[in-house]
Structure 1
Amino acid sequence: MTATVLVYYDMRMLGHNPHGWDPSHPAWTEAVKAMINLQYPGSNLETYTHPERAERLTAIVDRLMLEPIEGVRWMLPTAATMAQLERVHDKTYVAHIESLKGDSCWLSKDTTAVSPGSVEAACLAAGAGISAVEAISTGEARRAFCVLRPPGHHAHSDHASGFCLYNNLAVTAAHARESLGYQRVMIWDWDMHHGNGTQEIFYSDPSVLVIDSHCAAPFYPGSGLQSEKGAGAGIGYQLNVPLPLGIGNAALLKVFDEVVEPAAREFQPDLLLVSSGFDCHYLDMTCTMDETGFAMLTQRMSDLADELCDGRLVLLLEGGYNAQALADSAHAVVEVLAGSRVNACKVIPEDPSCSGCG
């Protein structure tokens, strides 16, 4: 049975054009090279270009246009306002980012940068999730997928990092809570990098359950230990599942079965949000998932949403830097959101065991 899926995209997000190196910060450049060598041994640093490039979105959009999926409705996001951003970000930080309109500069040594179109793109990216949950709250649809950049889950309340300027998912969750009346919001971040910004923002908040499965430290950003479980009233509402490099479909499905599903049943969310990074895909070289695994994860999250919160499920794009992997994975995910069922996914024999689950 076909379901309506709202797909949010605005080509102005292509105007974000960060640069790979910053000659004015040679020490930062050397730190970035060291980080790349650690994560991707053998990479050619002389031909390195910034991985967070416009092709990430055009690959997804072109595939969805060339192979249209019944039930998809294309939607334009409304840019997030300063007031909406300030629900999760410090006012001084928001003011600083807004002051960079039209500029080019680095914001941190991990190549987080802005170009003249970056601030507009970041406001649209943060607004995409808001637009999606508002449409869902009016009954326009129950599912949405936000094709956006720059990504958001590394953005902290007071600083940018990991290619992220504003924390798109955190802005969405806060809007759902404070403007739309959703009492409990649940987040699963299945990007291979720990969502350290999302964790920091909601670390003491018992109204937002954050589950984060990721490659274990020292893999970037080096956080997300199992012992990091929240603070104050939020203790127990941050669940980290660090996993070995090379994780594949079987490992992430085990995370769902042993962590996500039981935690969701106990928490009883009013809304499910996913930080949907596709960088666990084998074409991104570090892990071994493929699009069939992302399709199965989406199906299980859709079924969970149907059971617990009237089907309300929104996925926001995070990482993923191989164009083919992004196109294949996003298309498979949207197909499932639109009602296609999958019976199985590929299991790769070398997939490490999910020893951190439970």
Structure 2
Amino acid sequence: MEDAHVAGFREMKAMTTPVLVYYDTRMLGHNPHGWDPSHPAWTDAVKAMIALQYPGSNLETYSHPERPERLTAIVDRLMLDPIEGVRWVLPMAATTAQLERVHNKAYVAHIESLKGDSCWLSKDTTAVSPGSVEAACLAAGAGISAVEAVATGEARRAFCLLRPPGHHAHSDHASGFCLYNNLAVTAAHARESLGYQRVMIWDWDMHHGNGTQEIFYSDPSVLVVDSHCAAPFYPGSGLQTETGTGAGAGSQINIPLPLGIGNAALLKVFDEVVEPAARAFQPDILLVSSGFDCHYLDMTCTMDETGFAMLTQRMSDLADELCDGRLVLLLEGGYNAQALADSAHAVVKVLAGNRVK
């Protein structure tokens, strides 16, 4: 007869929540840097934007904030302080057909034509380096890989460590460091290939996800809740009056917030907007554009990693209640390495079943 202590241990182990973490070192090949001498007016506009958002920055030593260290900081922390239940998975690259569900063919062809090149794509420092196109396809494919694994029951939770980010990428142009809209590609795949009729997105990055809004603005099957710093903070969109159009009227919920907000404000957004909206919408899967730029080390706001853990716990509980636990997070912004490492680790720990005390 099995010892009672051993039986109890087996039961405890069985309760561990598996969480899939998607990552590929080839995403580090996206490495834009410096100014663009061929577009002096763009360079001047970027310097003005940096001076506005980050007063006191040294523009002579400025380096591109969307740099490979954003991912290596997170990966190093997860490796040095491992979390039980985490399984690392390599994503599949998104195919052209999968990208064209949310981006027009001409735009996808244009990005694909930039393989091996270095250039700026817009005056907000959206740029490519020789490895960027491969990285962008992997970033878009990470979300697809995650929702497919969730759909087959391999796990209920997943976190995609990816770059370049995606929520500023529109159907027909790049912006805000984003080439392809990773979250939109993921949501479209969940709808069109996996049969999820209602997809809900919460974008808690402090920059409005204007690309995601544009792509789904008339789509009633995708509910987008976006909490962000109010205009004129970049990109200057996301007004409360922007609520969707046509059949999608009411499917976009924007919550503009003041600079300097912290944990309490985002938890209030969940309690007063996200949770009731989800209960009314009854999603089949929950997706999160998980930017960590609200962390106090990023200077714009005052949140900390405990706040992100609490948000994740509430989203996990909501997913358990409404959609059999299906919850996938995709990395968006956040540009301080320590903040990224601490916040991502706290989020993954909660996804693995460790509740905030």
Superposition TM-score tier, normalisation by shorter sequence? over 0.9
1:170 deviates by 0.1
Equivalent pair of 1:20/1:111 in contact (CA under 8 Å): no
Gaps of 5+ in 1: 342-358
Summarize deviations over 1:160-213 as a string: whole Å, max 9, x none.
000000000000000000000000000000000000000000000000000000
CA drift of 1:322 comes to: 0.3
SS, match of residue 52 in structure 1: coil
Alpha-carbon distance between aligned partners in 2 of 1:21 and 1:254, rounded to the nearest angstrom:
40
1:91-110 Cα offsets, whole Å, 9 max, x none, are 00000000000000000000
1:304 Cα offset (Å): 0.1
Q: CA deviation at 1:56?
A: 0.2
1:163 is matched with which residue?
Answer: 177
Aligned residue pairs total 341
Structure 2: distance between partners of 1:9 and 1:160? 23
User: For residues 307 and 246 of structure 2, what CA distance do their matches in structure 1 show?
Assistant: 36
Aligned to 1:353: none
Q: Deviations over 1:255-310 (max 9, x none)?
A: 00000000000000000000000000000001000000000000000000000000
In 1, Cα distance between equivalents of 2:64 and 2:137: 21
Alpha-carbon distance in structure 1 between the residues aligned to 2:176 and 2:219: 23
CA drift of 1:2 comes to: 1.8
2:213 alignment partner in structure 1: 199
**Mapped partners of 1:310, 1:44: distance in 2:** 49
State the Cα distance separating 1:20 from its structure 2 match: 2.9
Instruction: Give the whole-Å Cα distance in 2 for the aligned partners of 1:174 and 1:104.
Output: 29
CA contact (8 A) 1:275 1:315 kept: yes
The answer for the alignment partner of 1:132 in structure 2 is 146
Q: Secondary structure at the match of 2:48?
A: helix
Per the alignment, in what secondary structure is the counterpart of residue 187 of structure 1? strand
User: What does the per-residue CA deviation read over 1:300-337, in whole Å, with 9 as the maximum and x for residues that have no partner?
Assistant: 00000000000000000000000000000000000000
Query: 2-side partners of 1:101 and 1:33: how far apart?
Result: 27
Structure 1: how far apart are the matches of 2:232 and 2:299? 17
- Partner of 1:6, secondary structure, is strand
- Partner Cα separation in structure 2 for residue 313 and residue 72 of structure 1: 15
Q: Secondary structure at the match of 1:240?
A: strand
Distance in structure 2 (CA, Å) of the matches to 1:183 and 1:47: 48
Partner SS, residue 274 of structure 1: strand
- What is the correspondence of 1:1-358 to structure 2 with a 5 Å cutoff? 1-341=15-355
Q: Tell me the distance in 1 between the aligned counterparts of 2:193 and 2:18.
A: 24
SS at match of 1:211: strand
Offset of residue 5 of structure 1: 0.1
Distance in 2 between the 1:2 and 1:111 partners? 42
- The structure having more radius of gyration, on CA atoms, is 2
Q: Deviations over 1:18-57 (max 9, x none)?
A: 1231011000000000000110111110110000000000
CA distance in 2, matches of 1:25, 1:2: 53
**Dislocated runs of 4+, deviation >3 Å:** none
Measure the CA separation in 2 of the matches of 1:17 and 1:339. 34
Overall identity of the aligned pairs, in %: 92
Distance 2:223 2:258 in 1: 23
Q: Please give the secondary structure, in 1, of the residue aligned with 2:189.
A: helix
Tell me which residue corresponds to 1:346.
Answer: none
- Local SS of the residue matching 1:289: coil
RMSD of Structure 2 on Structure 1 (CA):
0.4
Distance 2:346 2:313 in 1: 10
Structure 2 unaligned blocks of 5 or more: 1-14
Q: Is the 8 A contact 1:294 1:329 kept in 2?
A: yes
Partner deviation per Cα, 1:129-172 (whole Å, 9 max, x = no partner): 00000000000000000000000000000000000000000000
Q: The residue matched to 1:89 in structure 2 has which SS?
A: coil
1:52-71 deviation line (CA, Å, top 9, x unaligned):
00000000000000000000
The separation in 1 between residues aligned to 2:195 and 2:346, in whole angstroms, is 31
Mapped partners of 1:42, 1:60: distance in 2:
27
Q: Is contact 1:215-1:242 (8 Å) kept? A: yes
Alignment partners' CA distance in 2, 1:273 and 1:172: 9
